[in-house]
Amino acid sequence: MAGALLEAARFDAARERKIDRTATRLIEAIRKSDDRLGGVEDMLREFALTTKEGLALMVLAEALLRVPDAPTADQFIEDKLGEGDFIHHETKSSAFLVNASAWALGVSARVIQPGETPQGTIGRLAKRLGAPAVRAATRQAMRLMGSHFVLGETIESALARAQSRAPTGNRYSFDMLGEGARTAADAERYFNAYQSAIAAIGRTVDGCPLPDRPGISVKLSALHPRFEAISHARVMNELLPKLIELARSAKNFDLNFTVDAEEADRLELSLDVIAAAFADPSLGGWDGFGLAIQAYQKRAADVIDYIDALARTLDRRMMVRLVKGAYWDTEIKRAQERGLDGYPVFTRKAMTDLNYIACVRKLLALRPRIFPQFATHNALTVATVLELAGEAGFEFQRLHGMGEALYEQLSEDRPRLAYRTYAPVGSHRDLLAYLVRRLLENGANSSFVALAADDAVPVASLLRRPADIIGSGEKAAHPNIPLPRDLFLPQRKNSRGIEFGDRRALGKLVAAVAAETRPVAATPLIDGVAASGTERQLFSPIDTTRAVGSVVEASPAQADAAIAAAGSAFWRWSMTAAETRAAALEKAAHLLESRAARFIALLQSEGGKTLDDALSEVREATDFCRYYAAQGRKLFDEGEAMPGPTGESNALYLRGRGVFVAISPWNFPLAIFLGQVTAALMAGNSVVAKPAEQTPLIAFEAIKLLHEAGVPTSVLHLVPGDGTIGAALVAHPQVAGVVFTGSTEVAQSINRTLAAKAGPIVPLIAETGGINAMIADATALPEQVADDVVTSAFRSAGQRCSALRLLFVQDDVADRMIEMIAGAARELKIGDPRDVATHIGPVIDREAKARLDQHIARMKKEARVHFAGTAPAGNYVAPHIFELASAGELTEEVFGPVLHVVRYSAERLDRVLRSIGNTGYGLTLGIHSRIDDMIEAVIEHLEVGNVYVNRNMIGAVVGVQPFGGHGLSGTGPKAGGPHYLARFATEQTVTINTAAAGGNAALLSGEE
Ligand SMILES: Cc1cc2nc3c(=O)[nH]c(=O)nc-3n(C[C@H](O)[C@H](O)[C@H](O)COP(=O)(O)OP(=O)(O)OC[C@H]3O[C@@H](n4cnc5c(N)ncnc54)[C@H](O)[C@@H]3O)c2cc1C
């Protein structure tokens, strides 16, 4: 692809010179302008993102206006001002905006003395000016910033402002600000805002024909609370009619109606919605419907073809805004997290530029069926477009508050040219999140805007053609951005995942999983031989009448036999080269990936998992195999040389302990099961594994897979059974170690059994539960909190040890946040997890459901109910949200989709910390805040194993977030962490007196 783009990118010398001339003139205009490039650019120059002040300002801007209470606002301001050196900041630009904010911050900050701690700052500020004055000044500065980038707080004021400043040829596309909808009420509110905006815009239009008419830009994610690939049917049923209704209104006024482009995983879904809306007969005869296409996406040219074919088939015209794309960093992160084979976007900026121009050519060739709209602030891109397009038959677009000098110059030089301004409308509170995204996007040092603002960057370097920067096709990928699968190289491969927004990949996976219907007949496996006994049928939690296989549970005699067999095989395995053991684990990882569909099918039928959960679990199991293989090579291969006197060699070796018993839970029947077993094996132990009685089938298949991968059958044995068999294994005198994941009570009983045994003291590695908390303060973004709370509390039906149980919300914002969380919970689909649209599957069995139902019934009486979902018949438990008067009311881990909320007052955060500490658990903790001091204080105060800041608190990744807690939550060390394997091993030092025979020859022959 890169080769073709490079080939097509060249112009002849005369045209290249023309492009240079035009671009140079525009860059010079930008650099001459007092206001430089416009507001954002001035901000960037003054407070570069690479400086502490820049970052502090950005965070302050993003959150301050949403903080309702004075103490939190003061603490937040203090926190951010304390981070930067605002006093010594000298304003370089005369721009009003920068002066205003620097002034406001300067006034505030001037009273901060050098060397003073942030904690001391607010006191001094308050003394000199009074805290309210500081707060008011800072808020005012933020508002000023906002007013520069928002055209109006209401559509009416935006329209008035647009009319007053619109020279001929300056068109507008209005954008209603806000985060995407999380609740049905949000979606309704956005829909109404779009409707009334269209009506208001429509009332002001004059008689010019399209494209010389104003327009509106809509975000599909604002119109539906679950605008995601897996909710395709819902989106087509619920969102599509709304989009058509809005488009009809726009058609009534003959406006330009553009659907914004969002994240890559939503592209196919967006195109389905757009195509269906566009084809609606009621929109015939109107040329204003359009969409945005992102050139940073590798699929951009295909999208253009698709749109063209659509317009051709329907014999209609479309408007297409070509942008480079606003979510680049998010796309890279998401692809890495999901372990994709490649990135959906280019990884070098010049490739995006190259593709942009290729798309420009394509769009121009499709005129007049397509009306191209080129959105960019890059002078070189603009100059190249002009060279290709001439001056008519298209328009440029820019964002309000940006690219002003460039487009002013352009209008002066070429008055016939049309350009449209994308104008955000909304409250300053909503604007600031948008602004910060723009600052990030344009503040990056790859961005044209940032480079153009920097006088130190020579004009010639801004004129370098993307094709010259890339050079050849092999250099199309960024050298420092590894492919998602190579993220952890050279240590190990990242496990493979797929993008659910990629319909072909999803369809293939779903079909492969559906084909895996073979039932499993699990038995004990001793020396690889199936032991006989009484069969028990296993029924699926999805449908309790459907048998999914059978299990023969081990008798006590068989358990003994397994331990004896493991004992005999231990020494040989322990002496096997670490490399051989590691190679077996790597082979297992490979087999797991190639048989992902088989395991996913089992995780669904036996474990009741959704597709997303099941895939994540296969990935986690795969990562465990590779991670422990890599760690094992490092730790067990050769001894670690120790320093010492001459004439002696000293080395420390790790070796296996003996027979390890691994007892695992049903909630991660593959990942935790294999994690325990592979760690014990890698450390040179032989293993007797006892899976949870609910999930022996997956365990049986996993053990067979390890045998196939090269783990000798004599070394690894499977003993299915209930707690009594587990207890018998633990009590066996030959056991050298136990690794257990499950409830705190069982861990304690194992501990007592081990302690009561005569003989060597046997180590226990236990991983237990938690009453996991999250704290959300007033600076947090409610939409982000809602997403993360819903994921943390309800994903996997709350059946994760890491799941959120207790949410503390600052009382000043609690009503709004709880309402949004409840609204978001209402949108989750609960039911058969084999349907890809399902978010919440069943709980594991009838007993689990009965326990949860009982808790819910009690809470309904004792607590305030914020949300009570409804569940289908069977083992399903709907999400519930209860508000407690105090955290102490929750005394035990409730292992299901039940969230407990407690309000707290900002001044009494200490009480919150105390009540979290008082639970005695310490597994996971979530914090949502923009106040670094607060985050640090919480982390310092609470001894919790895994802390997650401003994100969800589940889904720890092997080797990235080693997992495990303290106190009642477990013994450590953390699974998937660097200290885990050593705990399964014994240590041995070997000292050799190398001078014993014949003296210290090495020392004697050493030269000076
Ligand atoms: C009117 C208007 C409407 C817009 N609507 C949308 C929309 O609907 N959806 C949307 O996503 N964006 C939208 N944008 C935002 C737009 O994507 C960015 O403003 C634009 O990418 C900046 O491009 P530029 O040519 O001005 O700047 P440049 O500095 O030339 O380009 C910056 C862009 O390059 C890309 N980039 C940066 N680093 C890399 C890298 N390492 N590898 C590959 N690519 C990289 C990114 O796309 C980045 O935004 C809109 C912009 C305008 C002006």
Percent of the chain with pLDDT over 70: 90
Q: Give the mutation target among 30, 319, 324 for probing the ligand 1 site: most ligand atoms within 8 A of CB.
A: 324
Separation CA 816–CA 809 (nearest Å):
10
Q: How much is the mean pLDDT over the chain? A: 91
Strand arrangement, sheet containing 648-656: 640-642, 648-656, 985-993
Q: Does 906 have pLDDT greater than 70?
A: yes
Does 308 sit in the ligand 1 pocket, CB within 6 Å?
no
With the C-alpha atoms ordered 57, 60, 63, 65, is the resulting torsion angle positive or negative?
Answer: negative
pLDDT bracket for residue 796 (50, 70, 90): very high
Beta-carbon contacts of 765 under 8 Å, excluding residues fewer than 6 positions away, are: 737, 738, 739, 740, 971, 972, 973, 983, 984
- How would residue 118 be classed by pLDDT, with cut points 50, 70 and 90? very low
**Residue 295 CA, ligand 1 centroid: distance in Å:** 8
Count Cβ atoms below 10 Å from residue 114 Cβ, excluding itself: 7
Query: How large is the average pLDDT for residues 102-118?
Result: 51
Q: Specify the residue with its C-alpha closest to ligand 1, atom 45.
A: 349
Q: With 60 as the cut, is the pLDDT of residue 626 above it?
A: yes
Which helix H or strand E contains 790, and what residues bound it? helix 782-794
The DSSP code for 630 is: H
How far apart (Å, rounded) are the C-alpha atoms in residues 143 and 163? 23
pLDDT in tens, 305-334: 999 999 999 999 999 999 999 999 999 999
Question: Over 50: is that where the pLDDT of 236 sits?
Answer: yes
Nearest alpha carbon, ligand 1 atom 51:
375
Picking from 133-137, 501-505, 547-551, 833-837, which range would have the lowest pLDDT averaged per residue? 133-137
> What mean pLDDT do residues 626-648 have?
94
d(CA 82, CA 69) in angstroms, rounded, equals: 20
Strands (E), 78-232: 170-176, 215-218
Query: In angstroms, rounded to a whole number, what is the distance separating the alpha carbons of residues 32 and 166?
Result: 23
Ligand 1 atom closest to residue 402's alpha carbon, by position in its atom list: 53
pLDDT at 1004: 81
Q: How many alpha carbons lie under 13 Å from residue 858 in its C-beta half-sphere?
A: 12
Residue pair 659/719 in contact by the 8 Å Cβ criterion: no
- 984: nearest Cα among 768, 740, 731, 668: 740
What's the count of helices (H) and strands (E) in the chain, helices before strands? 39, 30
CA–CA gap between residue 109 and residue 125 (Å, rounded):
8
Say which residues have a Cβ less than 8 Å from residue 429's Cβ, sequence separation at least 6. Answer: 65, 66
Q: Is 174 in the pocket of ligand 1 (CB under 6 A)?
A: no
Residue 879 CA to residue 876 CA, distance in Å, equals 10
Say if ligand 1 is within 6 A of residue 259 CB.
Answer: no
* Ligand 1 mean position, distance from CA 424 (Å): 16
Query: Predicted confidence band at 161 (pLDDT cuts at 50, 70, 90)?
Result: confident
What separation in Å is there between the alpha carbon of 55 and the centre of ligand 1?
21
> Whose C-alpha lies nearest to ligand 1, atom 17?
325
Work out which ligand 1 atom sits closest to the CA atom of 448. 29
Asked if residue 375 has its Cβ within 6 Å of ligand 1, the reply is yes
Per-residue pLDDT, averaged over 269-297, amounts to: 98
Ligand 1 contact via 292 beta carbon (within 6 Å)? yes
Cα pseudo-dihedral 311, 312, 313, 317, rounded to 10? 40
Q: Which of 83, 262, 263, 767 is catalytic?
A: 767
Does the annotation count 767 as an active-site position?
A: yes
Ligand 1 nearest-atom number relative to CA 345: 43
Q: Which atom of ligand 1 is nearest to the CA of 351?
A: 43
CA distance 994 to 162: 88
Specify whether 359 is catalytic. no
pLDDT at 680: 98
Q: What is the pLDDT of residue 1005?
A: 79
Residue 429 confidence (pLDDT): 73
Distance CA 706, CA 882 (A): 44
| pLDDT surpassing 80 at residue 129 | no
Q: What is the pLDDT of residue 119?
A: 43
Which of 147-156, 415-424, 428-437, 530-539 has the lowest average pLDDT? 428-437
User: What is the token pair recorded at 992?
Assistant: 């050799």
Does residue 894 have a pLDDT over 80? yes
Give the pLDDT confidence of 181-212 residue by residue, as tens digits: 999 999 999 999 999 999 999 999 888 899 99
The residue whose CA has the least distance to atom 50 of ligand 1 is: 323
> Does 234 score more than 90 pLDDT?
yes
CB of 705 closer than 6 A to ligand 1?
A: no
pLDDT band at 863 (very low <50, low <70, confident <90, very high): very high
Least confident span in 92-101, 464-473, 616-625, 844-853: 92-101
352 lines ligand 1 (CB under 6 A): yes
Point out which residues pair with 686 in neighbouring strands: 659
Least confident of 125-129, 690-694, 831-835: 125-129
The pLDDT assigned to 37 comes to 41
| Catalytic one of 78, 693, 801, 893 | 801
- Could you tell me the distance, in angstroms and rounded to a whole number, from the CA of residue 452 to the centre of ligand 1? 15
Q: What's the pLDDT score for residue 328?
A: 94
Other CB atoms within 10 A of residue 532 CB: 11
> Which residue minimizes the CA distance to atom 31 of ligand 1?
447
SS3 call for 986: strand
Question: What does the pLDDT read at residue 845?
Answer: 97
Residue of 220, 274, 323 with the most ligand 1 atoms within 8 Å of its CB, for mutation = 323
Ligand 1 pocket, residue 356 CB under 6 Å: no
Among 526, 596, 534, 621, residue whose Cα is nearest residue 566: 526
Neighbouring CB atoms inside 10 A of 713's CB total 17
What digits encode the pLDDT tens for the residues 349-388?
999 999 999 999 999 999 999 999 999 999 999 999 999 9
Give the per-residue pLDDT at 486.
Answer: 98
**Which ranges constitute the DSSP H helices of 661-718?**
671-682, 696-709
Q: Is the CB of 325 under 6 A from ligand 1?
A: yes
Q: Is 379 in the pocket of ligand 1 (CB under 6 A)?
A: no
Dist CA 675 CA 690 (whole Å): 13
Distance from the CA of 267 to the center of ligand 1, in angstroms?
Answer: 16
Region 294-300: mean pLDDT is 98
Q: What is the pLDDT of residue 122?
A: 47
Question: Of 323, 301, 326, 434, which is closest to residue 376 (Cα–Cα)?
Answer: 323
| pLDDT surpasses 70 at 564 | yes
DSSP alpha helix (H) spans, 343-403 = 349-365, 379-389
Rg (C-alpha) for the chain, rounded Å, is 32
Structure tokens at 676: 């325990």
Which ligand 1 atom lies nearest to the CA of residue 327?
A: 11
- Distance of CA 296 from the midpoint of ligand 1 (Å): 8
Q: Kindly give the distance from the C-alpha atom of residue 363 to the centroid of ligand 1, in angstroms, as a whole number.
A: 18
pLDDT tier at 51 (50, 70, 90 boundaries)? low
E strand or H helix that includes residue 826: helix 811-826
Ligand 1 pocket, residue 398 CB under 6 Å: yes
Q: How far is CA 388 from CA 16, 383, 395, 430, 997, in A?
A: 11, 9, 13, 38, 85
Res. 166: pLDDT tops 70: no
326 alpha carbon – ligand 1 mean position (Å): 5
Mean per-residue pLDDT, 966-993:
96
Distance between Cα 438 and ligand 1 center (Å): 9
How much of the chain exceeds pLDDT 90, in percent? 79
Q: What is the DSSP letter of 951?
A: S
Please tell me the total number of residues recorded for the chain in this structure. 1008
pLDDT digits (tens, 9 = 90+) for 718-772: 999 999 999 999 999 999 999 999 999 999 999 999 999 999 999 999 999 999 9
Rounded to the nearest 10°, the torsion over CA 848, 849, 852, 858 is: -130
Distances (CA, A) of 427 to 684, 688, 720: 63, 62, 61
- Of 905, 942, 915, whose CA–CA distance to 927 is shortest? 942
pLDDT for 167 equals 54
Residues 553, 797: Cα–Cα separation, whole Å: 28
Nearest atom of ligand 1 to the alpha carbon of 295: 47
